[in-house]
Amino acid sequence: MTTPNGDTTPAPRTLAIVRALNEQGTVGAVVADVRDHIPGCVVVVVDDGSTDATAARARAAGARVVSLPFNLGMGGAAQTGYRIARDEGFGAAVQVDGDGQHPGSEAARVLDALRGGGHDLVVGSRFLEGCGHLSTPARRVGIRVASHLLSAVMGRRVTDATSGLRAVGPRGIALFARSYPCDYVEVEALILAARQGLRVAEVPVTMRARRDGRSTIRPAQALVYGARVAVGAASLAATRRVAADPG
């Protein structure tokens, strides 16, 4: 990593957090892909209560595996990874899903933006350039509603509020290790970051369609995103009003 003065400093130790639930068909390739594109990173697969060979396939690919005793959901799995990053002194963490939708090259792009842009949280957006797999029609409706509402409240353009491909620096690691949403996790994590004053940015990425298995989010659930974000957005707006006018 090069400083503004032209000096070269070592990149911070990076932890790749891979959430996986019954992803035996893809997790090995995901681990290998991330290791190929982010040299020197430590890959931890958080096995969220899988009943198949997810943990064994991840270990065989060279990952460190944390097997949760039961399914905590995407939020609990992510927080487990962030707690490891905090407790072991990692300077950056990149979050990748175990279903093969997030190419290692795109995880590296998000991480590079974090390292070079002065941000605390960088999200990989499918919609900045509109390339690759853009999700199902029902989910795109939910994503669009969520993104518009978050844009209005956060005061900056948000195009992919539900993207799970994201990288965080020390402030983000500390925040998400301490508190991480449990329901509509990606959207609410952005609201939480905004509440805490983290510097958030997006970069364009290309994602793939799920390679194997089934998503844990059903089409009907995707339409609920907008309502949940509206509540969170209203809360964030109220918080900001109180901070601006304490008396």
Q: What is the model's pLDDT at position 223?
A: 59
- Tokens at residue 164, please? 């799970």
Give the separation between CA 16 and CA 111, rounded to whole angstroms.
10
Average pLDDT of the chain is 84
Residue 105 scores a pLDDT above 50: yes
Q: What is the model's pLDDT at position 142?
A: 67
Specify whether the CB–CB gap between 10 and 40 falls below 8 A: no
Q: What whole-number percentage of the chain has pLDDT above 90?
A: 57
Span of 27-41, 110-124, 143-157, 192-206 with lowest mean pLDDT: 143-157
Span of 35-49, 127-141, 152-166 with lowest mean pLDDT: 127-141
Q: What whole-number percentage of the chain has pLDDT above 70?
A: 74
Alpha-helical (H) ranges within the chain are: 27-37, 54-60, 73-87, 104-117, 137-154, 170-178, 185-195, 219-222, 225-244
Determine the average pLDDT of the residues in 27-46.
98
Q: Which of 177, 9, 169 is nearest to 91 (CA)?
A: 169
Amino acid 62 reads: G
Give the separation between CA 223 and CA 187, rounded to whole angstroms.
13
Residue 83 scores a pLDDT above 50: yes
Render pLDDT for 199-242 as a digit per residue (tens, 0 to 9): 999 999 999 886 655 555 555 555 565 566 556 666 655 665 54
Q: What is the model's pLDDT at position 31?
A: 98
- More confident: 2 or 28: 28
45 pLDDT tier (thresholds 50, 70, 90): very high
- Tokens at residue 47, please? 């096995």
Task: Provide the total of helices (H) and of strands (E) in the chain, helices listed first.
Answer: 9, 7
Span of 77-81, 139-143, 178-182, 236-240 with lowest mean pLDDT: 236-240
